[in-house]
Amino acid sequence: MIIGEDEKLLELKQFHLLKEGFEVLKFTSLYELEQDLKDISLILINDINPNIDGMNFIEYVREKESNVPIIFLAENLCEKGIAQAFANGADDCLIKPFGLVELLCRIKALLKRTYGFTQEKLIYENIIMDLSQRTCTIDEVEIELTKLEFDLLSFFIQHKNMILEREYILDSVWHDSSMKKRTINVSVNRLLKKIDPVNKYGYFTAIRGIGYRFG
C-alpha cells in the first residue's frame, strides 16, 4: 500500500511493484485506510502529503494496535527526524532521492523479516501462479505455459479488473509498444486455449478499439 506521493512518482512505484508481483492499493485519507488496514501487508508512507501527516500517520497506525510493517519515505529529514519516525513506529526509513531497486529490496527484506515470506504467488479465483517456481495451476491441475504466456497471465492477474490498452500491454510484457497490436490478440488466444479452452470461466473481455480486461 502506498500513501501520499506525487502522482507520477506514485504511478512509477506502483508499476514496478506490480511487476514484482505485489498487489498495490493507494489511499488518500485515514478513513479509506481504516477500512482495509487488517488486509494490508506493508505500508509505504510519504512525508509530503497534503491530507496526511506522515509522522502522525505512523503513530495513528500503531495506536490501532496494528503491527503492519511501515516504510517511511522522507525528504531532507535530519537524524532527529529519522529517530522520531522510528520512535513513532516506523520499521524502516528511506531518504529521497533513492532508487527503485533499493526500495524493492527493502520491501522484500521487511516482508521476509515480518512474515517469513515475500510475494511469491499470485492467486485469482481458481488460478495459482508460483512466481519463484514459474508454475501455474488451475483447479489444482498444473498448466504448461511458455515464458511469454506465463509473463502475460501474471501481468493480467496483477492488473485484474482494469481496462488495459494494447500499447501498455506490449510495453509491459514485450517491452516494445511499437509491435503490431495483433500480436496481443494471437498471444491471448493461445493462452486461453490452455487455461480456459471452452470459455468456462470467461477470464478475458476484449474491449473493442482499446485492449483487454482480465476478471
At 119, phi and psi to the nearest 5?
-65, 105
- Inter-residue contact 166 to 127 (CB < 8 Å): no
* Rounded-to-integer distance, Cα 81 and Cα 99, Å: 21
Domains of the chain: 2-115 (3.40.50.2300), 121-214 (1.10.10.10)
At 109, phi and psi to the nearest 5?
-65, -40
- Residue 29 predicted with pLDDT over 80: no
Query: Mean of the pLDDT values across residues 11-28?
Result: 66
Rg of the chain over all Cα atoms, to the nearest angstrom: 19
Go through the chain and tell me how many residues it has.
215
Query: Mean of the pLDDT values across residues 141-161?
Result: 92
SS (H, E, C) 158-212: HCCCCEEEHHHHHHHHHCCCCCCCHHHHHHHHHHHHHHCCCCCCCCEEEECCCEE
For residue 118, what are the contacts with CB-CB under 8 A and spacing of at least 6? 108, 111, 112
* Rounded-to-integer distance, Cα 146 and Cα 150, Å: 6
107, 110, 111, 116 alpha-carbon torsion, rounded to 10°: 150
pLDDT range class, residue 10, cuts 50, 70, 90: low
> The pTM is what?
0.52
- Inter-residue contact 70 to 82 (CB < 8 Å): no
User: Mean pLDDT lowest for which of 11-15, 106-110, 123-127, 191-195?
Assistant: 11-15
Nearest to 19 by CA among 167, 159, 179, 114: 159
- Residue 78 predicted with pLDDT over 70: yes
Question: Is pLDDT larger for residue 207 or for residue 114?
Answer: 207
- Residue 142 predicted with pLDDT over 70: yes
- Residue 76 predicted with pLDDT over 70: yes
- Residue 26 predicted with pLDDT over 80: no
* Rounded-to-integer distance, Cα 152 and Cα 183, Å: 12
DSSP-derived secondary structure for 116-174 = S--S-EEEETTEEEETTTTEEEETTEEE---HHHHHHHHHHHHTTT-EEEHHHHIIIII
- Inter-residue contact 164 to 213 (CB < 8 Å): yes
User: Does residue 97 have a cis peptide bond before it, meaning omega lies within 30 degrees of 0?
Assistant: yes
- Residue 55 predicted with pLDDT over 90: no
Element (H, E) at 108: helix 100-115
Q: What is residue 153's predicted lDDT score, i.e. its pLDDT?
A: 95
